[in-house]
Amino acid sequence: MRGVIEAVCVSPGGLPKLPVPAARATPAGLEGDAHNHPHIHGGPEKALLLISVERLGELRALGFPVAPGVLGENLATRGLDFAQLAAGMRFRAGDAWLELTRLRRPCRQLEPLNAGRAGAIQQLLQARPHLGGWYARVLLGGVIRAGDIIELTEQAV
């Protein structure tokens, strides 16, 4: 399984995260990235959030104003089938090594994307969890750039 990193996104806290050319991944997350609610988001088990640009396209087609970084993801990828991913899978992303830990659970921080349809995106992401993305821990830090390859190195361990 192999794809491409379309966007690397960071924020000083909160949403949206904005695309940058590159960032260094560390066990704490991407350098230059922060969370408004660190007791909920981030930490070693949720150091990075990965989302598929193909799934972002599905959400746009349903009327949600999403683009890379808007849902809080750090890496927007193309070419990986998120429905086929599982916790424990390990990937090389640019110079970094990652391990998927869990699916993302939608939170109320996404409410502004609902455009008057209270809870709509949260309900959709609960019904179709792969749309919301995967959290990952950073096994080995390194620089990740937009355009880098992301490649499965080990099945679930």
Higher pLDDT: 142 or 35? It is 142
HSE value, Cβ hemisphere, 13 Å, CA-based, for 91: 29
The residue ranges of every structural domain in the chain are 2-154
Indicate the pTM of the whole model.
0.92
Supply angle C-alpha 49, 50, 51, rounded to 5: 125
pLDDT at position 22:
98
pLDDT at position 132:
87
CB 131 within 8 A of CB 125: yes
Name the CATH superfamily for 2-154: PK beta-barrel domain-like (2.40.33.20)
| pLDDT-wise least confident of 13-17, 41-45, 134-138, 141-145 | 41-45
HSE value, Cβ hemisphere, 13 Å, CA-based, for 152: 17
Q: How far apart are CA 136 and CA 152, in angstroms?
A: 13
Q: What is the mean pLDDT of residues 30-54?
A: 89
pLDDT at position 122:
80
